[in-house]
Structure 1
Amino acid sequence: MKNFRINILGVVALGLLSLTSCKDDKKVEGEDTIVVTEDVVTPAEMGTIEVTLNSDDAMKFDTSEIKVKEGQTVILTLNHTGKLPEAAMGHNFVLLKQGVVMADFATAAIAAKDNEYIPNDGKDVIAHTETIGGGESTKITFTAPAKGTYDFLCTFPGHYSMMNGKFIVE
């Protein structure tokens, strides 16, 4: 019975040792205990995510949902895969702050042609690209906001009803 108890204790100890040795955590050793501490990753350490969003002459984005992590650096590339010029079928990407009513913003954007269709000096916007035409691309870099769900849209007149989506920050 004594050998059986020693073997069980050995298996349990070996199992615990393998669990703690597989982790990439910091270990703080005391006399009789080992304390495993988790490394904390701050939002600034989340790295960078690259997102490509394609648009076309049929007034469509190729995705209606973008997911990122809070605090991540987002590099967003907007491609216009169509052929029509900016004056006829311009597209942009606009990420709205929470609580901004998309329809109201898009209506106000119609009068903001000289400001890339961004009304109110951009006070309701987290990030936006310039407006581009067929065959063009543009890129922006910004920091993902606080956790939550945000709206994105194209603010070229008449486009927002078909060209919009959710920007989800986890």
Structure 2
Amino acid sequence: MFRPVVALVALTLSSAVWSAEQCSVDIHGTDQMTYDLKTITVPKSCKTFTVNLLHPGTLPKNVMGHNWVLAKQEDMKEVIDDGAKAGEANDYIQPGDKRVLAHTRLIGGGEKDSTTITTATLKAGDHYAFFCSYPFHSTMMTGTLTVGG
């Protein structure tokens, strides 16, 4: 009797861990001005989805700062342009910008930050871009986010 109960508990715990892993992703922004991911797929089964941004480099944020910003593909250029005007004090994101669907704060080497998206705000078939809004970083630090199955 004891062995089946232990197996059931282990299976339940592993399912809980698996579900949590599916509804989050780690992405690294480096001193070489790159993300280690180019695509992120959000499972439809997730009610929320968390993006954990980590900066494994050593350079400070005023030199090689990174953030993770999500917007519809067609809004990306304007979000970046307005973010540049907002400056470092605002993490290169225009305060109150409704085109920004989610974002982390600007971080430097050795730091990390997270943002959680309510997936009901995302639509399958829409084209979403994620990018670093630090000036000129989006030329190399960009990717696509999709809502999957």
Where do 1:109-124 residues align within 5 Å?
109-113=83-87, 114-119=89-94, 121-124=96-99
Which is greater in Rg?
Answer: 1
CA–CA distance in structure 2, aligned partners of residues 107 and 90 of structure 1: 17
TM-score (norm 2): 0.76
Matched-pair contact (CA < 8 Å) for 2:65–2:109:
yes
Label 1:71 to 1:120 Cα distance change in 2 as closer, same or farther (>3 A): farther
What's the offset of the Cα at 1:121?
1.8
What's the offset of the Cα at 1:108?
1.8
Matched-pair contact (CA < 8 Å) for 1:151–1:166:
yes
CA–CA distance in structure 2, aligned partners of residues 123 and 71 of structure 1: 25
TM-score (norm 1): 0.67
Match of residue 124 from structure 2: 147
Matched-pair contact (CA < 8 Å) for 2:79–2:100:
no
Aligned residue for 1:121, secondary structure, equals coil
Match of residue 42 from structure 2: 68
Find out whether 1:81 has 2:59 as its counterpart: no
CA root-mean-square deviation: 1.8
Unaligned runs of 5+ in 1: 1-45
Unaligned runs of 5+ in 2: 1-18
What's the offset of the Cα at 1:103?
2.5
CA–CA distance in structure 1, aligned partners of residues 45 and 102 of structure 2: 14
What's the offset of the Cα at 1:105?
2.2
When the two structures are aligned, how many residues end up with a matched partner? 124
Residue identity over aligned pairs, in percent, reads 38
- More deviation in 91-100 or 125-134? 91-100
CA–CA distance in structure 1, aligned partners of residues 60 and 67 of structure 2: 13
